[in-house]
């Protein structure tokens, strides 16, 4: 979205202590906090990026959330994939405009949102999610950020039991036992297609790599992404004391065509 802020949109309000609040703009609405009241009318019809003041003269910056900010603030059922991993996932799985993608599980829809943006209006994402409450929550989260009528279909089903789609370009997995999906993925991807799996523990990675080893998949790689933020204030320029030291490992592989005997 560009242009002046409109009713129905979500905005991020950031206070002097850099605390963030995700707020949906409503005609006649108000945002109440310890810092006083902010009428939505002060925001609707105006540009993002402005600083506005509450009834208690406290400052808030108002911006439209980036995808990364939205993912961190949106309502969660399941744990989401963090922005530090979402970016590399899109590149490692080479998700392109027009791609036909299958994702499982869908969880809170963080990766789904990133995928939909990357495949664009000519692509398509199918999500398999075993829990219907998560499937619904994810669809609401996706639409709240990207708007309605996305090229997305979420099905409540167990991906371990098989994948119906054929000729897929990409398959992305964020679930505990991806080795149970390797055979289904080999049948559902087109030759050269990419499988990517996000896993929290290295034992799971080893087990997945073994399954990939015995499959038509090749060119497998596993890695983790470390992101260290820095404190920059005058002469005090150093790494922050705290960092998110671990989220998950990424494993990706390509579906190869077996050599003719």
- Site stretch for ligand SAH (CB under 6 A), options 6-14, 155-163, 186-194, 242-250: 155-163
**The residue to which tokens 């991807």 are assigned:** 189
Closest CA to 71 of 62, 60, 84: 84
Q: Interface with ligand SAH includes 81 (CB under 6 A)?
A: yes
* Cα angle: 118, vertex 199, 69; to 5 degrees: 45
Single residue of 159, 189, 199, 250 touching ligand SAH by CB under 6 A: 159
Residues 113 and 70: beta-carbon distance below 8 Å:
yes
**Phi, psi torsion values for 162, nearest 5 degrees:** 135, 165
Residue 70 lies near ligand SAH (rule: CB under 6 A): no
Site for ligand SAH contains 102 (CB under 6 A)? no
Cβ-based nearer residue to ligand SAH, 128 or 145: 128
Q: Which is nearer to ligand SAH, 62 or 74 (CB)?
A: 74
Helix-strand-coil split of the chain, %, nearest 5:
25, 30, 40
* Neighbour order of strands in the sheet with 59-63: 20-24, 10-15, 59-63, 50-53
**Which among 168, 2, 172, 6 has a CA at the least distance from the CA of 81?**
172
- Per CB under 6 A, the segment of 94-102, 158-166, 219-227, 249-257 that binds ligand SAH is 158-166
109 binds ligand SAH (CB under 6 A): yes
Nearest approach, Cβ of residue 231 and ligand SAH (Å): 28
Counting contacts by CB under 6 A, is residue 110 touching ligand SAH?
yes
Residue ranges binding ligand SAH (CB under 6 A): 78-81, 104-105, 107-111, 128-131, 134, 158-160, 174-175
């Amino acid at each position: 979205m560009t242009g002046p802020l409109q009713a129905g949109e979500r905005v991020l309000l950031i206070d002097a202590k850099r605390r963030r609040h995700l707020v949906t703009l409503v005609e006649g609405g108000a945002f109440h906090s310890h810092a006083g009241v902010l009428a939505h009318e002060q925001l609707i019809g105006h540009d993002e990026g402005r600083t506005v003041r509450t009834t208690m003269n406290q400052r808030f910056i108002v911006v439209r959330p980036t995808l990364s900010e939205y993912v961190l603030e949106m309502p969660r059922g399941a744990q989401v994939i963090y922005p530090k991993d979402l970016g590399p996932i899109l590149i490692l799985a080479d998700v392109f405009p027009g791609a036909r993608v299958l994702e499982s599980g869908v969880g809170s829809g963080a990766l789904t949102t990133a995928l939909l943006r990357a495949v664009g209006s000519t692509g398509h994402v199918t999500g398999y999610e075993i829990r219907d409450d998560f499937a619904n929550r994810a669809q609401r989260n996706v639409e709240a950020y990207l708007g309605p009528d996305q090229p997305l279909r979420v099905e409540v089903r167990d991906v371990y039991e098989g994948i119906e789609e054929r000729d897929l370009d990409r398959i992305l997995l964020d679930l505990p036992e991806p080795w149970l999906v390797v055979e289904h993925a080999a049948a559902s991807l087109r030759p050269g297609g990419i499988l990517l799996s996000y896993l929290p523990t290295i034992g799971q990675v080893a087990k997945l790599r073994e399954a990939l080893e015995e499959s038509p998949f090749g060119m497998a790689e596993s890695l983790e992404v470390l992101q260290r933020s820095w404190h920059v204030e005058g002469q005090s320029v150093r790494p922050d004391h705290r960092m998110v030291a671990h989220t998950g490992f990424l494993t990706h592989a390509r579906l190869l065509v077996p050599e003719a005997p």
